[in-house]
Structure 1
Amino acid sequence: MFFLAVGLAMDAFSVSITRGMTLKCNFKHAFIIALFFGGFQALMPVAGWLAGEQLAALVEVWAPWIAFLLLLLVGGKMIYEGLREEDDEDVCKVFSLKDILILSVATSIDAFAVGVSFAFLNTPILMPILIIGLVTFGLSFLGCYIGKKMGHFLGNRIEILGGAILIAIGLKILLENLVT
């Protein structure tokens, strides 16, 4: 279950690194990001478990596209903001709960499908969601600080790199699911 949780958390971890690079991430921001990512990773399997068979086919088809579009939207916005002429303080200080919410959904859609599979296997849901949520929380919190350290080295145009990384993650999700 731990390895499943780590696998599910990798997108959230990567996105946390990009958010850490582009925000002046303090403890409060890192905690909020980790709470959203961990919370959504824990709630989506419950939603999938409750939905069971009814939504399984729909999720399998549309989830990669939804994740891709959400990450493209946020990544494109980050690139746009990185290209705008502003001083360093304006570019880095933006912390948007709306963006974090969108990213939380985008990175946790695969957890919905895992919840559907738990329903098919008659797997009790409580222990898996606790493990998934806590692992994602921890990795996301760590990712913010790793990104913060990397952002110092890469300078004030890190927003463009962060946006490109989000788009690449979305494309990876889409391509992996189109090929399989």
Structure 2
Amino acid sequence: MQKVRKDPEPATKGSNGGILPLGAIGSDDLGISLYSTPPNVEVSIREFEDFTKDRLKILHAIDRNCSYDSRLENMPELRPKLAKDLSECRMHMGYPLLKDQRDSFLIDKAEFIRRDGISHYALRLAFCKTRDARDWFLRQEQRLFVLRFDVLSPEAKEAFLESSGVRCTRFEANANLSL
């Protein structure tokens, strides 16, 4: 299960017209996962069908918009083309922009994690029969992950990688120029 961080700073309404300062939510991983453990939940047949159908739709949309050898670095450029599909299939989360969206954000995130895990593992089983099917599924899942990971804040990316056991060191762009 994903950990939900508590927000130490209360949201205050100020001159920003109700816009939510990101604070601790800005370092939230938005429910993305490396799928290290399968979900242990009960799900109705209808939900199972809906979740897998929606995920399959977005994977096919990604496939249609990418060439076979598209580089993962170019995936963020496809976001505008895929935004409608991601939204319709409920396979994407975003940070809440308004203060009154904060409570619903945590509920939406929990539902997203449930939907995402169930649909991923269901399709993982469905596509394990042949090597070509596995390769196609893995390629589309990588692309979906890159689309999701790209919208995270730098702090959220760092926290996600650390919680996933991936060691990384942040560097500043101008420090890299001196090399």
TM-score range, shorter chain: 0.3 to 0.5
TM-score by length of 2: 0.32
TM-score by length of 1: 0.32
Higher relative CO (Cα under 8 Å, sequence separation at least 6) belongs to: 1
Bigger fraction of residues in helix: 1
**Structure whose CA Rg is larger:** 2
